[in-house]
Structure 1
Amino acid sequence: MKSLILILLSLSFLTSCTNKKSEKNHHRVVESYVQLDGKQVLSENESVSIPLSKQGYTLHLPDSSSVATLVFFSGSALDTTAIIPEFSIIEPALKKQMAVIFVSTGKPIDFFFTDKDISIADKILGHALNKHKLSDKPVFLGGMSLAGTMALRYCEYCFSNKSEFNVWPKAVAICDSPLDMVRMWHEQEQALLNNFHPNAVGEARWVLHFLQENLGGSPKEAMESYIEYSPFVYNDKNRTKIELFKKLAIRMYHEPDIEWWIKNRAKDYNTINSIDLAGFYNHLRQAGNMEAELITSYNKREGYEKNSSPHTWTIVDNAELINWYLEKMKKIINR
């Protein structure tokens, strides 16, 4: 299976690359994908599954030379012409001569559980950076929800000198991402017990399946696996990952509208991602990371008056975030 994936990756870069001009932003868009066969199973008895998607990338390039590259990982192929909040960062990035790439592993849901999983994304990204002469430019990461978790997992991979292409992320911005999978396990158990909303119950079933299948059981059965995988575990007395991240420039966005969560999903502070972000931020600051920021908003999200979920990228000021990335780049250059 591994050799098949690598062959497909190679073919995608050789045969399925397309170039087109974006009429809206007057920039070049490069797409390189291959459709994967098979399915991703979401249940223990394989009764629930979804087909694998496209593996590859969509790259947005400014008309003149790029100063940096902003990377987003996703579980599925991305149509960046769609109206998805994260894609709104493309235009302000291009205005500041920053390239933006969306990398898809072909799995509709990807946790980056193993180095093997991450290496596929690393190959896709590395080939793209080399091909488009971006490998000597700073690389920044971004991610909403689980994609933010994936961004931090990729940082771990790179900071451990595992990147085949020597990628070294300079700054990361994540939005309402789950970090502590021990807490996540208990959150999903609580959602099943509450049986309050079908979306919460459905998510709980497949998340518990994924965690048990990939981490060797429940936290009680495989705590070390949970600590090894999670970017942050509150109950990890050794604070295992903090040393790895203590020099990373990181922003964490969240809007902890607890009234919405209780009313609409029967979730409280213990069962929303905000608690992970606050704990991670606290431990990073204690370790001396003054480049860590926790951005907390209140009713900033798009459509909040219509009772929209606070789990959304719309709380992020994209233009201001691009300026933040560029400030970090100036620090790097001036060192």
Structure 2
Amino acid sequence: MRKSVFLIVLYVFLMVFANQNTFGQTIKGSHYELNIAPDQKAVLILFPCFPCNIEHTKTEARFLKGIDRKGITTILLDYNQKLFLTESEKQKYAKTLHRIFKRNKISPDNIYIGGFSGGGNVALLMTAFLIKNQDPLQPRGLMVVDSPIDLEKLYDNAKKGVAKNADPEAVEEGRYLTELLEKEIGKPDTSREKYKTLSPYLMSASPDEGNIQYLKHIKTRLYCEPDLKWQLEKKNRTYEELNAYVLEKAHQTLLKAGNTQAELIQTKDRGIRANGTRHPHSWNIVEGNELVKWMVE
């Protein structure tokens, strides 16, 4: 009799456990790392910078420390080396997100998508894709952190960086980006429609064209740190050659399109990387407490 009662109690316990979310746990899967908040108030999906991975995001995005205790479930992805996405890639990433949410029984009620540098491009494109296709996973907000969202402008700036020859790193990066964009998309003056389709945003396009048109009704934060002194001394760049310039223009476009929830956040002296190096192009320009408040309010 006692054995039967014990088995019944054990069965009930296991069934209850099996149907609960894995709250408070870190779960690693193919292309992602998930940390479920014990008292979830929002979900933050983050894409890494162009050459980066999940560990880099965890190290550099210091606002992630303890964010689960503030009610934020995080999904860190390792889809990198992307400045734009094909339709098949968008579908693939969307399927990955659906699988993560379903498998781990995550509530999709308050989703935010973000990314740093090239990851911000991916975040914007995926946000637009999910909204455009009325996907069950509907983002309530988008966070773009110092990203080169205008590929036409990125191409032009890359050419300038090579021509100036002011910084070896900028020259190498400029050559790489020029070759990549010409190979994958073409030159802007001869592949206008492809740039309009693939670029997250184009300053040269109207607000009702391209991917940015789908951001009219969601909260949007565009982060940058336009440290002109640092950029001039280190890279010989003007303001018009910075991601900050394009993000300012994107913010203006969103406002003109009627997005009353669009914010341009220009920080000062926050661009410090995990190793202590001063660099305005950093995850660290995002302030954690203010970010959480933005997501849960």
Q: If the length of structure 1 is used for normalisation, what is the TM-score?
A: 0.75
Q: Is the 8 A contact 1:104 1:121 kept in 2?
A: no
Asked whether 1:192 is paired with 2:162, we answer: yes
Counterpart of 1:286 in structure 2 is 256
Distance in 1, matches of 2:286 and 2:108, equals: 28
Asked whether 1:29 is paired with 2:26, we answer: yes
Q: Secondary structure at the match of 2:26?
A: strand
Deviation at 1:162?
7.0
Counterpart of 1:157 in structure 2 is 129
Q: Which amino acid aligns with 2:54?
A: L
Q: Which has the larger radius of gyration?
A: 2
CA root-mean-square deviation: 2.3
Distance in 1, matches of 2:207 and 2:42, equals: 35
Counterpart of 2:46 in structure 1 is 72
Quick one: which of 172, 185, 192 aligns to 1:202?
Answer: 172
Distance in 1, matches of 2:207 and 2:295, equals: 31
Deviation at 1:298?
2.1
Counterpart of 1:60 in structure 2 is 35
Deviation at 1:77?
4.0
Q: Unaligned regions of 5+ residues in structure 2, if any?
A: 1-21
Deviations 1:94-125 (A, max 9, x none): 122221011123xx412242011222222222
Counterpart of 1:318 in structure 2 is 288
Superposition pairs of residues 225-236 of structure 1, within 5 angstroms? 225-236=194-205
Deviations 1:274-298 (A, max 9, x none): 1111001111111221100011122
Q: Unaligned regions of 5+ residues in structure 1, if any?
A: 1-20, 34-55, 328-335
Asked whether 1:240 is paired with 2:209, we answer: yes
Asked whether 1:271 is paired with 2:245, we answer: no
Distance in 2, matches of 1:192 and 1:68, equals: 43
Counterpart of 2:278 in structure 1 is 308
Distance in 1, matches of 2:258 and 2:66, equals: 31
Q: Is the 8 A contact 2:84 2:199 kept in 1?
A: no
Asked whether 1:176 is paired with 2:146, we answer: yes
Distance in 2, matches of 1:28 and 1:192, equals: 47
Counterpart of 1:97 in structure 2 is 71
Deviation at 1:134?
1.0
Quick one: which of 145, 149, 164 aligns to 2:117?
Answer: 145
Q: Secondary structure at the match of 1:202?
A: helix
Distance in 1, matches of 2:207 and 2:64, equals: 39
Percent of aligned positions with the same letter in both sequences?
Answer: 24
Larger RCO of the pair (alpha carbons < 8 Å, separation 6+) = 2
Alpha-carbon distance change, 118 to 177 in structure 1, aligned in 2, over 3 angstroms:
same
Q: Which amino acid aligns with 2:130?
A: C
Alpha-carbon distance change, 323 to 225 in structure 1, aligned in 2, over 3 angstroms:
same
Deviations 1:245-304 (A, max 9, x none): 11121011111011111110121122110111100111111122110001112223337x
Q: Is the 8 A contact 1:141 1:172 kept in 2?
A: yes
Q: Is the 8 A contact 2:41 2:110 kept in 1?
A: yes
Distance in 2, matches of 1:281 and 1:133, equals: 35
Q: Is the 8 A contact 1:73 1:143 kept in 2?
A: yes
Distance in 2, matches of 1:134 and 1:297, equals: 33
Distance in 1, matches of 2:208 and 2:154, equals: 18
Deviation at 1:29?
0.6
Q: Secondary structure at the match of 2:250?
A: helix
Q: Secondary structure at the match of 2:204?
A: coil
Quick one: which of 18, 41, 59 aligns to 1:84?
Answer: 59
Aligned residues: 272
Alpha-carbon distance change, 173 to 92 in structure 1, aligned in 2, over 3 angstroms:
farther
Q: Secondary structure at the match of 1:208?
A: helix
Q: Is the 8 A contact 1:174 1:252 kept in 2?
A: yes
Distance in 2, matches of 1:171 and 1:264, equals: 34
Q: Which amino acid aligns with 2:29?
A: S
Q: Which amino acid aligns with 1:228?
A: T
Deviation at 1:71?
0.1
* The structure with more strand, counted as a fraction of residues: 1
